[in-house]
Amino acid sequence: MAKIAVLGYGTVGSGVVEVLETNKDSIKKRAGKEIEVKKVLDLRDFPGDPIQEKIVHDIKEIIEDEEIEVVVEVMGGVEPAFTFVKQALEAGKSVCTSNKALVAAHGAELLEIAKSKSLNFMFEASVGGGIPIIRPLNQSLTADEITKITGILNGTTNYILTKMSREGSDYDETLKEAQKLGYAERNPEADVEGFDACRKIAILTSLAYGSTVNFEDIRCEGISNITTVEFKYAEALGCAVKLLATSYRKDGKVYAITAPFMISNEHPLYNVNDVLNGIFINGNVIGNVMFFGAGAGKLPTASAVVADVVDCVKHKGKNVMTVWSSEKLSLGDADDEVWRFFARVKDEDDARVKVRDAFAEAKIVEIAETSGEFGIVTEAMSEAEFKAKTEGLNLINRLRIDDTQL
Amino acid sequence: MAKIAVLGYGTVGSGVVEVLETNKDSIKKRAGKEIEVKKVLDLRDFPGDPIQEKIVHDIKEIIEDEEIEVVVEVMGGVEPAFTFVKQALEAGKSVCTSNKALVAAHGAELLEIAKSKSLNFMFEASVGGGIPIIRPLNQSLTADEITKITGILNGTTNYILTKMSREGSDYDETLKEAQKLGYAERNPEADVEGFDACRKIAILTSLAYGSTVNFEDIRCEGISNITTVEFKYAEALGCAVKLLATSYRKDGKVYAITAPFMISNEHPLYNVNDVLNGIFINGNVIGNVMFFGAGAGKLPTASAVVADVVDCVKHKGKNVMTVWSSEKLSLGDADDEVWRFFARVKDEDDARVKVRDAFAEAKIVEIAETSGEFGIVTEAMSEAEFKAKTEGLNLINRLRIDDTQL
């Protein structure tokens, strides 16, 4: 029997308890022993809930309980999660978390503490919800040097973009509906401004290259300025608009960005719709692989957390090596990144002449639904070059185009 | 330094040697130590090849070499691979293999020997080439009860079907071209009759349910009777024709089948084309996840083999538990499987009346390109029921329709 504690009895926490109960027998078979939730930390009480008798309000009751060998942290946020997780590791307990803010901010440090004590710190659920991606990156793609990771890593924004695309609805209206359905939070900033996806690509990039990428160093643009008009242009171009979080290695440097992109129907993530997440990886020997599935949600996320618990139980006393040092990975200059660009240009003065002068091969895109503007699709150039070339133009918006193909 | 031996210096074997050299530094980081190929077993010599000095012709030189801790078996076929692998395990060496025939025939037995000696027997490359699927199933989806696995698991047939669909070319011609390009073997039977995919679904099903599925027990139909006409009907129905290998649990029984299916453009595997493989998994808590990438090829396969070698080196002295017992899993009766069916019916006598009488809701499909026949798409029914209902009809061909959706 392995006893565990759960920090936080919210959506994911109650999912973890539920999954452990629902699949008790098969989990026992996989872990080699039964797994029992002994204590649950939450500020609230849950009268009537079978978990009530296990509720504790003080982290000490868990840290000081020597029977508890694995702690599941599903509270979210950096603090007090970080303090609790550190205490748990220092008290000799392995930790599994779904908390990307915690992992993005302190992943390397917590991995090092775990390693030094022959414990494990696991965080499969922190990226891609239920989709196995951390473990494949950490244990399956070990023969490869990762050259590119591109993902749709945030279900909320993908839901919004998919709905806007399908129904022609506008951003504010769609966001409100997503909030009503529970797909977006009341304060949606972390999702819609791209911060959530950005933290996740920081985690994946750190794992891929073995040193720490600060998510604050990654250029990050959200979807809040995407309107119905961008979708009209996208449709005319045979493209979808997707919030991509991507990192890649080029000339010995690693670049990363999170931003809305136009992608063609040949792009591996073109069909990843609604709240689904998809992650494309290119390795120098494996070539292209892709993973997709539910990127969030109570049970898919709990599935990933419980799989980590099973792994911790199986590896008791043995650290499963993860190559992610605290050493900082300096990213290449975002202004050097090269893309094709789509831009909406105000059709004023001699804008069309300026476009012809600045861009040798820009394609002009006209759509019936707008007036006073036109679209351009440029040849590939650096961000800096694009900025310079469009200086004299009045741009309404611009999107990068990602040309990844399977 | 970890020393390994490679059995078979063919496509995959030379790929393994190449990957270990190309990514030497990153592999060292991941494995925690350098990995060196000490010996290579092959009947041939390779004068001029840097590997020549490592070539041995007698398996004994590897089995009796105490420095060698991991043996890579990439010869293919059940014998002598089985004998060699067993000897290696019994001599205290972990084994990694890409050999699905070996794994399908003796997986459970070899896993048990490995476990009893605190070694590992790994076979990530035996299914899906480079796509991480064995390890995710074994280590990531441990919180789930697997309810369905559906895969395009054979690159050769997927290449042929994709090409026939795109170019309207016929089967024999396309097969010949695939052989010319090296995508199909001179004796293509194992691929085109579905045996290869069938072995792979047997392996995945055994891992998913923890006991042994004999691939001989799985109903298996190949693609050699698919003609340009089936593709015309598929097009009219908005479907693709794909060789699916699938297993699922229903009412406490596990069913499995390998056969060409029609799938709509909402099917998760609809866009898996050419030599790509795709694997869809449904778990009772994770919901749907999908993996895809190169299902074969020298370097992708070698990538998976080397990842296993890294895992064996990292887990020296510790068996990574795999739940797959020798106990036989009795499959449900294939005649009880329920599908919608597509059939080509000879338009003779009172065929149309018979169809109307036998099927309450069958849809008739007519295409311009044929005469003397018509197509039907039935409602969902068991294989037995379909057989009974079509007894008086002259069927030219019939395909099942898989309605899996993401």
Asked, for residue A121, whether it belongs to a domain, the answer is yes
Chain A interface test: which of B29, B140, B150 (most A C-beta within 10 Å): B140
β-pairing verdict for B55-56 and B35-41: parallel
Q: Give CA–CA dist B76/B87, Å, rounded.
A: 16
Nearest to A340 by CA among A357, A370, A373, A363: A363
Q: Yes or no: say if B127 and B134 are a contact pair by the CB < 8 Å rule.
A: yes
- Taking Cα atoms as reference points, which of A170, A133, A165, A156 lies closest to residue A222? A156
Domain end marker among B273, B294, B315: B294
Residue B366 sits in a domain whose CATH number is 3.30.70.260
Specify the pLDDT at position B307.
Answer: 97
pLDDT of residue B263: 97
Same domain, A252 and A278: yes
Spacing of C-alpha B85 from chain mean position: 21
Do residues A32 and A88 both lie within one domain?
yes
Residue A140: phi, psi to the nearest 5? -100, -35
Residue A294, token pair as written in the block:
């539910």
pLDDT value of position A101: 96
Q: Is A275 on the interface with B (CB under 8 A)?
A: no
pLDDT of residue A338: 97
Mean pLDDT, residues A189-217? 97
Helix or strand holding residue A402 (H, E): strand A395-402
A121-122/A55-56 β-pairing: unpaired
Element (H, E) at B19: helix B11-22
Residue B178, judged by CB atoms within 10 A of its CB (0-12, 13-18, 19+), counts as buried
Same-domain status, B112 and B166: no
CA–CA separation, B172 and B223 (whole Å): 11
Same domain, A274 and A351: no
Cα–Cα distance for residue pair B392/B397, rounded to 1 Å: 14
For B372, the domain range is 334-402
Same domain, B150 and B264: yes
CA-CA distance, A192 to A118, in Å (whole number)? 39
Distance CA A317, CA A306 (A): 18
For A265-277, write each residue's pLDDT tens digit.
889 999 899 999 9
DSSP code for A180: H
Contact criterion met (CB < 8 Å) for A286 and B294: yes
CB contact under 8 A, B289 and A292: yes
In the set B200, B242, B250, B387, the catalytic residue is B200
Residue B174: CATH number of its domain: 3.30.360.10
B247 has which bridge partners? B149, B256
Q: Is A250 a catalytic residue?
A: no
- Residue A284 pLDDT > 90, yes or no? yes
| pLDDT at A204 exceeding the cut of 90 | yes
Q: Note the pLDDT of residue A369.
A: 87
A135 touching B (Cβ < 8 Å): yes
Residue at A327 is within a domain: no
Kindly state whether residue A58 falls inside one of the protein's structural domains: yes
Chain A residues within an 8 Å CB radius of B143: 19-20, 23, 27, 302-307, 309-310
Structural domains in chain B (count): 3
Instruction: Calculate mean pLDDT across residues A383-390.
Output: 97
Angle at A107 between CA A104 and CA A109, to 5 degrees: 135
Q: Nearest chain A Cα to B314, which residue?
A: A321
Question: Quick one: A279 and A245 in the same domain?
Answer: yes
Q: What pLDDT score was predicted for residue B406? A: 73
Q: What is the pLDDT of residue B398?
A: 97
- Whether omega for the bond prior to residue A80 falls within 30 degrees of 0, making it cis, is yes
Task: Report pLDDT digits (tens) over A35-63.
Answer: 999 999 999 999 999 999 999 999 999 99
Strand partners, A187: none
Q: Within this chain, do residues A63 and A163 fall inside the same structural domain, yes or no?
A: no
The C-alpha of A44 sits at a distance from chain B's nearest C-alpha, in angstroms, of 26
Give the pLDDT of residue A152: 98
Give A290's pLDDT tier (boundaries 50, 70, 90): very high
Query: Which segments of B195-279 does DSSP mark as H helices, in order?
Result: 195-209, 228-236
- Residue numbers in B near A22 (CB within 8 A): 284-285
In degrees, rounded to 5, the angle at the alpha carbon of residue A11 between the alpha carbons of residues A6 and A13 is 10
Q: What is the mean pLDDT of each run of 10 residues along chain B (406 residues)?
A: 97 97 95 97 96 97 98 96 98 97 96 97 95 94 96 96 96 95 91 97 97 96 97 96 98 97 93 94 96 90 97 94 92 96 95 92 92 96 97 96 88
Burial class (CB in 10 A: 0-12, 13-18, 19+), B201: buried
Picking from A25, A122, A142 by the largest number of B CB atoms within 10 A of its own CB, the best residue to mutate is A142
pLDDT on residue B84: 98
CATH of the domain at B54: 3.40.50.720
**Virtual torsion, Cα B84, B85, B88, B93, nearest 10 deg:** 150
Type of residue at A187: N
| A283 lies in the same domain as A383 | no
Asked whether residue A100 carries a pLDDT value surpassing 80, the answer given is yes
Same domain for A250 and A142:
yes
Q: Who has greater pLDDT, A182 or B216?
A: B216
Test the A interface: residue of B28, B30, B131, B142 with most A CBs within 10 Å: B142
Q: Is residue A329 part of a domain?
A: no
Tokens describing residue A23: 């699949």
Q: In the beta sheet, which residues pair with residue B72?
A: B6, B96
State residue A195's pLDDT score: 97
> How far, in Å, are A76, A389, B196, B206, B308 from residue B106 at the CA level?
45, 64, 15, 11, 18
User: Taking 80 as the threshold, does the pLDDT of residue A12 lie above it?
Assistant: yes
Give the confidence band of A321 by pLDDT, cuts at 50, 70, 90: confident
pLDDT at B295: 84
State whether ipTM is beyond 0.90: yes
**Same-domain pairing of A123 and A184:** no
Residues B51 and B112 in one domain: yes
- A122 lies in some domain: yes
pLDDT band at A346; cut points 50, 70, 90: very high
Q: Tell me if chain A has a CB within 8 Å of the CB of B286.
A: yes
